[in-house]
Chain A
Amino acid sequence: MSTIVQPTAPRSERGTTQTLRKWGPALIVFAMGLAAWQWLLPALGVERYLLPPLWDVLQAFWDARSELLRAGWITFKEAVGGFVLGCSVAFVLALVLARWRPLGNALMPYMIAANAVPIVAFAPITNAWFGTLSPWSKIVIAAVLCFFPVLVNTLRGLTSVRPESLELMTSYAAPQRVVFARVRIPNSLPFVFSALKIASVLAMIGAVVGDYFGGSTEALGVQIVSSVSVAQYETAWAAILVASLLGIGFYATVALAERLVLSWHPSIRAGVE
């Protein structure tokens, strides 16, 4: 009866071997991918304007590193700004809709429908609203992109509490405030973090695409567009590389925060992804 699931074995030499076994294949594929990019594509006659060889892209990055990193930083700030804005508004609204369910029932169909709208289509409009050069036109696109997944997932997390959990709180005569603080919000956190990970990716997309429709010449998306227009494909690819690394870094940061906050969650404690 007292069988307990032990946390995964401490990292020993065996652990290192296992780690290598787990990540080794992925690393090999990564190396093969880079090699194919560098040598196979030119050998197959893929033109430079379609995809320049890896080394040329790295060279272009090095030559333009200070502008690219500055541009990346500007776009990244837009993405993070939109992420924070969109996710916080969505979280607070989800709390309100979970607290007053008739309101939630009245609004949710529209929220779900709005979620299916291709929001980047509004990018030119936000430029008109907030000014093409203003970071706010990009922040708003990123925020709206983040808003819906966070709203829908948070609401699901707040409301998918097993009935007995709530009956227990009722038996303690706990007021709604306490039910939210002690049960609904902790219960929603795994859902919230799944949504935040999606939102981190969407925020980056929103900011870069927002740049495509015009913006400060220092922003990353604008640099990609202008590099392509003057046939500097290597620089465009280098900028895409910067955007990708920033996006991955953003996602990884959210995933790390998830691990710290949800340290109690079985999937994290047992090391199952």
Chain B
Amino acid sequence: MTVAEAVVTARGITKTFGKGGVTALQDIDLEVGSGEFISLIGPSGCGKSTLLRVIGDLVEPTAGEILVNGKTAHRARLDRDYGIVFQAAVLYDWRTVVKNIALPLELLGWSRAKRAERVSEMVKLVELEGFEKHYPWQLSGGMQQRVSIARALSFSPALLLMDEPFGALDEMTRERLNAELLRIWAETRSTVIFVTHSISEAVYLSTRVVVMSPRPGRITSVIPIDLPQPRMFETREDPRFFELVTEVREALHAGGGDE
């Protein structure tokens, strides 16, 4: 696959934990183009979350090189190129919805007026109007996760890293947020790397699905998803959708991912 403008270039990434211990990642090569939506999928222990953290400079690789927009991952982190969404919303309990969304903007030294303007745009984007002054515990899990997404996007980072963001939500909420995420992705033209263990979620959301397998964690195949954009609710009923789901499932099994 030719990538015009690479946002992420990973070459020979290896990560071992402890001396002679577990090899979480072995010799990972990955290129992510601007505006792509990449899913990392694989069974537990395949290193998908570790790979995400290596790209985000939260975990240092044992060997290999990561370039983000042509810079080292470390430089990219210092330049605040990453927006991160975790499985738990990780909101600060003592901050209201708007204050949580404004947090990265405060750290970037934005003026109060500029912050207020951007935050209200973000609240609109994730459809949380009317909940601005609520505290996290007053929100449902899905709403908390939308606040977390708004916070990650508030400063328009070059790269959105999402670590199983909808893993803890029920199926209905998850499907709604999938659709919302795609709308936001299209509106903001962001580049997304998305960790999941749901095959249908990966196929529905992604432009490419990266299949990983464990012991040692490695990429076993990369499957381009040629479903038409924008993806609609009916996309899930498209015969091509089922073909791609089957393809990803078989790739997972071939990689020893059926445990």
Contact = CB atoms under 8 A, between A and B. Distances in A.
Partners in one complex: yes
Interface of A: 1-5, 7, 162, 164-165, 167-168, 170-174, 178, 182-183, 186, 189, 264-266, 269
A266 B137 contact: yes
Contact of A265 (B77, B90, B93): B93
Contacts of B57: 171
A266 B86 CA distance: 22
A174 B140 CA distance: 29
A1 B172 contact: yes
A172 B95 CA distance: 17
Nearest to A168: B90
Interface string B76-91: 0111101110101010
Interface string B84-116: 101010101111100000011001000000000
A188 B63 CA distance: 38
B30 interface: no
Given A165-B90, A183-B92, A264-B94, A269 B135 contact: yes
Contacts of B176: 1
Contacts, number: 71
Contacts of A264: 93-96, 135
Given A171-B56, A174-B107, A4 B88 contact: no
26 contacts: A1-B140, A1-B142, A1-B172, A1-B176, A2-B140, A3-B140, A4-B143, A5-B137, A162-B90, A164-B86, A165-B90, A167-B86, A171-B56, A171-B58, A171-B84, A172-B103, A172-B104, A172-B107, A173-B80, A182-B92, A182-B103, A186-B92, A264-B95, A266-B137, A269-B135, A269-B138
A4 B134 contact: yes
Nearest to B96: A264
A172 B57 CA distance: 11
Interface in B185-237: none
A2 B143 contact: yes
Given A1-B176, A5-B138, A173-B77, A168 B93 contact: no
Q: Which size bracket describes the interface of B in this complex?
A: 20 to 34
A128 to B, nearest CB: 46
Contact of A4 (B80, B82, B138): B138
A178 B143 contact: no
A174 B106 CA distance: 11
A168 B103 CA distance: 11
Given A4-B138, A5-B138, A164-B86, A171 B92 contact: no
A184 B47 CA distance: 29
Nearest to B127: A2
A168 B172 CA distance: 27
A178 B109 CA distance: 12
Counting chain B CB atoms within 10 Å of each CB, the highest count among A2, A172, A182 belongs to A172
B181 to A, nearest CB: 15
Contacts of B84: 167-168, 171
B69 to A, nearest CB: 15
Contacts of B103: 172, 182
Nearest to A262: B94
A167 B92 contact: no
A231 to B, nearest CB: 55
B254 interface: no
A191 to B, nearest CB: 13
B138 A162 contact: no
Contacts of B86: 164, 167-168
Q: Which of A167, A183, A186 has the most CB of B within 10 A?
A: A167
Contacts of A269: 135, 137-138
Contacts of B93: 264-266
A170 B58 CA distance: 7
Contacts of B78: 173
Interface in B137-190: 137-140, 142-143, 172-173, 176
A123 B134 CA distance: 50
B173 A1 contact: yes
A2 B83 CA distance: 25
Nearest to B84: A171
Nearest to A170: B58
